[in-house]
Amino acid sequence: MRDEATVEIAGSATQDSVGGMQNGRTVDEPRNRQANLSTGTQGLERGRETKLGFLNPTPTGRMAGRNGAKRVQSHVPNPDPLSSGSLNPRLRILKTVQKKRGDLYIRKVGRFVSEHSLKNMANTTEIVDDNSILRTDFIQELLPSAERTSLLYHLAFLSLGGFPQLERVIRDQAIETQLLFGSSEALLMMCVGTCSNLVTSLFPILKKAVEKNKPVLAVRYLMKAKEWISDIVAQVDVIVKRYDRHNESVKKSTSDVYQEQDETKEKKAEKSDEMKGLEDALAKLGVDLKRVVDTIEMNEEQIKKTTDELNDFIRRFQEEHAHWTMKFLDCFRGYPDAMKEPSAIALDIKLKQLDSEKSSLKNEEWNIKTRQLELQLQLANCQIQMGEIPDPEHLKEVQKCLSQIQQILVDLKKFWEKVDAILKTLKNKTFVGEELVDMEDMKDEFLSSIDDAGKYWERFGLCCQRAQGVFSVQSRDAYKFLEINPSSLSEEERNQQYVSITEKLKKIHPDPPALSDNQI
């Protein structure tokens, strides 16, 4: 059948061409990047033509700030014997975990359900019942940090590279970051390819399975999709650990700079008036920055609290629906019925106000940091002229950028784990044996939900593609400054590069613009 062949080919492309593990290759060894990007882009274009998609990441699952984001425990399902092709489909069991009079009980047909299987099912149900799927554009929060990192390294290279022992330290760290960004690019390629395969291959198969009552076919390709997602989750784990180790290494390098300062700096009896003025101005900006950061933290706490209230309301609202299918479909659609209730509307309005306040505060924080950067460069020039090693402020900012990227990758893992849990629930509750379960009255609505949610998956794929493009540029072109010996630069050349880098930093927006509807 044509649809089956399409999915098999797409699955192979995801595992091989789009950076998956194939023949011993890992995401750290990307190949044919341009071809891969082209494949992912064409897939998304086909998805836009068919207008098919799935799994609408609900707008209620807002990011409660980096500090306030709700954590989901890592869940990698154990191999499910029910999905084995060796079992007679008629012997497959229908398992339903329900709450009755406060006790957990199981309704089953045909086979014994072990306590271990029950725990796995409960873990999956817990993730699915969590209404905090991230926005489709959360991945774009990577962009400012990814773009700033190379520019900050360049500034550190100009300020500290004139000292041979420090030039080597900065060069080593910058090269490791460049390699890590290359791996991040390959990971995002996997996400783009998987989004394309879901939209153009898997979900059309699911629609046909529902229309023609062929659950065995649906289960086969649901398991294929779960393999793609499991590969992504595993690779995210690897890269997050690399970011953690690398950030510790950059932190040590920062300490090495301070140690070098103590060992080589001549103690000056007096500082120039210019240096004193710059230090005083930086101290004042530091106070202003702390005030803004503290306000942002309070804002994020309010966002988390309000988000939890909205999710609790949705949870209570969903419990009133006796049929599980309605609850499941609402997860795809963003809980449209619940969001029409006055309480939900009020909480959503409050969240939008808090989001607007946070955006303004982030802009204020960004402006203060830009001003700090300008003064730090002036102070560094004064220190160099006096034979002193400047403070490694830019390396400190690199650490912050790497931490932000690492946290967003953790959120990416959470996103895919949620998708994996939903697909597992779909397989276990709907496509069981040789008949569709509990779908007699919900078939049309189920099919409609797949179409309605298509634009969200297309949006997520495009956001991943945009982030992948930034990492591609960063890993390929942004570190060419390492080819230059900083000691060979004249003061005028160094100042020209300072000005150029500062202008580039000013153009980076702390809150990347969302994709417009006409971009999808």
Averaged pLDDT score across all residues of the chain: 73
* pTM of the predicted structure, to 2 decimals: 0.70
pLDDT band of 443, cuts 50, 70, 90: confident
How is residue 144 written in tokens?
Answer: 């400012």
What pLDDT was estimated at residue 115? 39
- Please tell me the least confidently modeled range out of 18-22, 352-356, 479-483, 491-495: 18-22
Phi, psi at 13, each rounded to 5°? -65, -40
Cα–Cα distance between 501 and 37 in angstroms, integer? 29
132: number of CA atoms within 13 Å, CB side? 24
Closest CA to 128 of 428, 456, 451: 428
- CB 149: neighbour CB atoms within 10 A? 26
pLDDT band of 29, cuts 50, 70, 90: very low
Q: Please tell me whether residue 456 adopts helix, strand or coil conformation.
A: helix
Over range 328-343, report the average pLDDT.
Answer: 72
What pLDDT was estimated at residue 83? 37
- CB 102: neighbour CB atoms within 10 A? 5
pLDDT band of 229, cuts 50, 70, 90: very high
| DSSP H stretches of helix in 131-202 | 142-160, 164-197
How is residue 480 written in tokens?
Answer: 């060419």
What pLDDT was estimated at residue 228? 92
More confident residue, 150 or 385: 150
Does residue 40 carry a pLDDT above 90? Answer: no
Over range 460-485, report the average pLDDT.
Answer: 92
Cα–Cα distance between 67 and 70 in angstroms, integer? 9
CB 132 within 8 A of CB 307: yes
Does residue 363 carry a pLDDT above 80? Answer: yes
CB 342 within 8 A of CB 276: no
Across 225-250, b (16+ Cβ under 10 Å) vs e yields bbebbebbbebbeebbebbeebbebb
Q: Write the pLDDT tens digit of every residue in 71-128.
A: 333 333 333 333 333 333 333 323 333 333 333 322 332 333 333 333 444 444 444 4
Does residue 25 carry a pLDDT above 50? Answer: no
Closest CA to 64 of 426, 462, 411, 433: 411
Closest CA to 481 of 460, 496, 466, 465: 496
| DSSP H stretches of helix in 320-389 | 324-333, 342-385
What pLDDT was estimated at residue 288? 95
User: Tokens 């975990």, residue?
Assistant: 97
Helix (H) or strand (E) holding 44: helix 33-50
More confident residue, 458 or 146: 146
Closest CA to 169 of 242, 267, 261: 261
- CB 353: neighbour CB atoms within 10 A? 12
- Please tell me the least confidently modeled range out of 92-101, 293-302, 350-359: 92-101
More confident residue, 383 or 299: 299
What pLDDT was estimated at residue 62? 42
- Please tell me the least confidently modeled range out of 51-60, 151-160, 261-270, 304-313: 51-60
- The amino acid at 402: L
CB 58 within 8 A of CB 482: no
